[in-house]
Amino acid sequence: MQPITVILLIAIAALVLITIIRNIKIVPQAHAVVLERLGAYKATWGTGLHIKIPFIDRIAKKVSLKEQVVDFPPQPVITRDNVTMQIDTVVYFEITDPKLYTYGVERPLDAIENLTATTLRNIIGDLELDSTLTSRDTINDKIRIILDEATDAWGIRVIRVELKNILPPREIQDAMEKQMKAERERRARILDAEGEKRSQILVAEGLKESAILKADAVKETKIREAAGEAEAILTVQKAYADALKMLNEANPNEKVIALKSLEAFQKAADGKATKIIIPSEIQGLAGLATSVKELIVEDKAE
């Protein structure tokens, strides 16, 4: 075999090998490849190893199946009360059908941006300024539903839409800031008044509880004093009753009783009474007692 022939065979083999290697494709995870054969859609390759036919098959598009985020620039919108605002949106989406994404629409991201802008203008046009500023969640949901329905034919699923910024005109912002400042001052005054009211209520409740405690203390003192006096009276009466009982048990005669009566009159007088009326039945006994006392005194003098 001629050397030239050998070199030619080696070159052909190398060319075939290079061609085969160049037509071996590996699709990574979360990606897809749209394959065309002779200009027509042939298949969608998923993750793994694939081989295409040289000069016949062509990779039309490589698609990422991950969730994607696009931040669209601010769009001028007009509210129902004729206030022009700048609103920019953020759209989160994922590709569900690589074939529809490849052949469904030209420049899908531009199509989503334009659709988002027109949908936003339609929704905001039905709302006033205050409703626009306080209804972000409602606006987000409406835009997402409309975009998801429209992009379904493009193999795209819109996951969520967020209004990133809502920028009203400068004069509107100044008026809103003044309104918010006035509202904060009003709330501060209300809080101060509520605090003062609460403080006065607490002071009044404290004075009330203090008066109740003082009254309870006075009441308790009087009750204890009355109980002490009652107990003293009961003790005295009990002692007197015991004395009478003992006297009755001793069976005294009339003279002893008369003498005890005389002692009682003596204690009753105690040098303070100016006149004492003595019953007739003990007068004689009183004279006898006086005579006996005088005899005793004379005996002691002798």
Over residues 199-213, the mean pLDDT reads: 89
Number of domains observed in the structure of the chain: 3
pLDDT (0 to 100) of residue 154 = 92
Are residues 12 and 58 located together in one domain of the fold?
Answer: yes
Are residues 78 and 158 located together in one domain of the fold?
Answer: yes
Tell me the pLDDT of the chain averaged across its residues. 81
Q: What is the pLDDT of residues 43-67, one digit of tens each?
A: 999 999 999 888 899 999 999 999 9
Task: Determine, yes or no, domain membership for 182.
Answer: no
pTM for the structure as a whole: 0.56
Are residues 45 and 72 located together in one domain of the fold?
Answer: no
For residues 288 and 216, the model is more confident at: 216
Are residues 76 and 160 located together in one domain of the fold?
Answer: yes
Task: Transcribe 14-65 into DSSP letters.
Answer: HHHHHHHHHTEEEEPTTEEEEEEETTEEEEEE-SEEEE--TTTEEEEEEEE-
Q: Return the CATH number at 140.
A: 3.30.479.30
Name the helix (H) or strand (E) containing 105. Answer: none
pLDDT classification of 187: cutoffs 50, 70, 90: confident
Are residues 162 and 142 located together in one domain of the fold?
Answer: yes
pLDDT (0 to 100) of residue 65 = 93
Task: Transcribe 233-278 into DSSP letters.
Answer: HHHHHHHHHHHHHHHHHT---HHHHHHHHHHHHHHHHTTT-S--PP
Going by C-alpha positions, the residue among 72, 61, 9 that lies closest to residue 36 is 61
pLDDT at 139 over 80: yes
Task: Determine, yes or no, domain membership for 177.
Answer: no
**Rounded distance between C-alpha atoms, residue 165 and residue 154, angstroms:** 28
Are residues 30 and 94 located together in one domain of the fold?
Answer: no
Residue-range definition of the domain harbouring residue 134: 68-168
Q: What is the pLDDT of residues 244-265, one digit of tens each?
A: 677 666 665 555 555 566 555 5
Query: Nearest 5°: CA angle at 298, between 293 and 302?
Result: 150
Of 19, 34, 63, the position where a domain reaches its end is 63
Task: Determine, yes or no, domain membership for 156.
Answer: yes
Task: Determine, yes or no, domain membership for 248.
Answer: no
Task: Determine, yes or no, domain membership for 148.
Answer: yes
Task: Determine, yes or no, domain membership for 139.
Answer: yes
- Among 64-73, 231-240, 285-294, top mean pLDDT goes to 64-73
